[in-house]
């Protein structure tokens, strides 16, 4: 089983008026081209214009993160399983994020799978991931399993709130640059295309390559320097794309509240078990949802 590439960083970027807004039509974007599906493309050398644009984006993200308490997001997701004959699945997704005590962060993401026969999203077939601060739970209703893992502290990089590649939105610029290779590869009239590549093994367990499409102009529903589309490649070559439909920052408890980030109860007939990566030391089991201690960023 592979850890979820949850986009915790989406918490840093939006204004509260987005809570009920409909996002503009997403651009048509093809996956990065390469000789092998699910492989990261080669990156051209950055220009001075691209380097300046990257500085602007990181400054905006760092500034926005200071006033953020929670985020609610609705998105449409697509997954292409290159390790399973290239089959594709579509999902209707909802994501919630919130600051928790002791410098931790919570996330709750649920993706309902689309049924092409009945032409609707299946409420009983979904993927759900809950980050309680120190533990990540993966809920699989088909297998009737809840799998938890203790989030490790990496000794060779600054910590982030969770194992997700896009926790970079919550970090200081200096920490982002230390942990990830970042480069603007293209700027057109509407969007800036930013590539993200992990530097450390811990992050490579989550993703090998990511691309973020960022708005260039101010928009009442998205805003300047804010992400419009997210795309990444997982270590098993699965390609994932999120088309953001709606985002609200600092929303009310009817949208995001503390109960969204507590450990899930194990239903009768289900199994609760710990995810154990190959060669990893066994971590502590969750006790009442108390997260492990984490250093502030």
pLDDT tens track for 175-206: 778 888 999 999 999 899 999 998 888 778 77
Q: Can you give the pLDDT at residue 252?
A: 92
pLDDT at residue 296, as a whole number: 27
**Cα distances (Å, whole numbers) of residue 188 to 70, 78, 184, 215, 218:** 31, 24, 11, 10, 15
Percentage of the chain exceeding pLDDT 70: 68
Asked if residue 212 belongs to a domain, the reply is no
pLDDT of residue 271: 95
Strand ranges inside the chain, DSSP E: 70-81, 87-100, 104-115, 120-131, 135-140, 145-150, 180-187, 191-198, 209-215, 227-233, 238-249, 271-274
Question: Quick check: is 36 in a domain?
Answer: no
Per DSSP, helices labelled H in the chain are 48-65, 173-179, 201-204
Residue 121 lies in a domain: yes
Q: Encode 150-160: b = buried (16+ Cβ within 10 Å), e = exposed.
A: bbeeeeebebb
Buried b (16+ CB within 10 A) or exposed e, 113-142: bbeeeeeebeeeebbbbbbbbbbbbbbbbe
Residues with pLDDT less than 70, the chain:
1-37, 39, 42-44, 152-171, 218-223, 276-297
154, part of any domain: yes
What is the token pair recorded at 135? Answer: 């533990």
Domain count, the chain: 1
- Position 2 in a domain: no
Q: Say whether pTM exceeds 0.85.
A: no
Domain presence at residue 117: yes
Instruction: Provide the domain limits for residue 80.
Output: 8-22+45-178+246-274
What's the confidence (pLDDT) of residue 220?
A: 62
List all residues 6 or more positions away from 31 whose beta carbon is below 8 Å from its beta carbon: 37, 80, 231, 239, 241
Is 133 within 8 Å of 104 (Cβ atoms)?
A: yes
Would you say residue 1 lies in a domain?
A: no
Residue 254: inside a domain: yes
Which CATH number do you get for residue 154? 2.50.20
Provide the pLDDT for residue 8: 34
Would you call 1 exposed, middle or buried from its count of C-beta atoms within 10 A (0-12, 13-18, 19+)? Answer: exposed
């Amino acid at each position: 089983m592979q850890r979820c590439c949850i986009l915790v960083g989406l918490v840093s970027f939006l204004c509260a008026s987005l809570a009920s807004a409909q996002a503009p039509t997403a651009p048509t974007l093809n996956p990065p081209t390469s000789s092998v599906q699910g492989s990261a493309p080669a990156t051209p050398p950055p220009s001075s214009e691209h380097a300046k644009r990257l500085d602007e984006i990181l400054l905006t993200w760092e500034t926005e993160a200071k006033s953020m308490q929670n985020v609610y997001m609705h998105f449409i997701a697509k997954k292409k399983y290159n390790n399973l004959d290239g089959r594709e699945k579509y999902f209707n997704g909802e994501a919630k994020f919130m600051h928790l005590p002791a410098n931790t962060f919570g996330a709750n993401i649920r993706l309902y799978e689309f049924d092409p026969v009945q032409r609707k999203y299946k409420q009983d077939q979904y993927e759900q991931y809950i980050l309680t601060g120190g533990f990540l739970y993966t809920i699989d209703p088909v297998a009737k399993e809840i799998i938890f893992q203790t989030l490790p502290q990496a000794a060779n990089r600054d910590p982030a709130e969770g194992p997700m590649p896009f926790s970079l939105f919550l970090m200081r610029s200096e920490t982002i640059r230390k942990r990830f290779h970042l480069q603007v590869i293209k700027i057109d009239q509407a969007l800036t295309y930013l590539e993200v590549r992990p530097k450390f093994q811990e992050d490579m367990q989550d993703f090998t390559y990511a691309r973020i499409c960022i708005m260039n102009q101010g928009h009442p529903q998205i805003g300047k320097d804010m992400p419009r589309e997210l795309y990444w490649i997982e270590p098993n070559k699965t390609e994932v794309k999120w088309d953001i439909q709606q985002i609200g920052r600092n929303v009310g408890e009817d949208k995001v509240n503390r109960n969204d980030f507590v450990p899930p109860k194990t239903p009768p007939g289900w199994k609760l078990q710990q995810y154990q990566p190959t060669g990893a030391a066994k971590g502590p089991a969750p006790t009442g949802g108390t997260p492990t201690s984490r250093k502030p960023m």
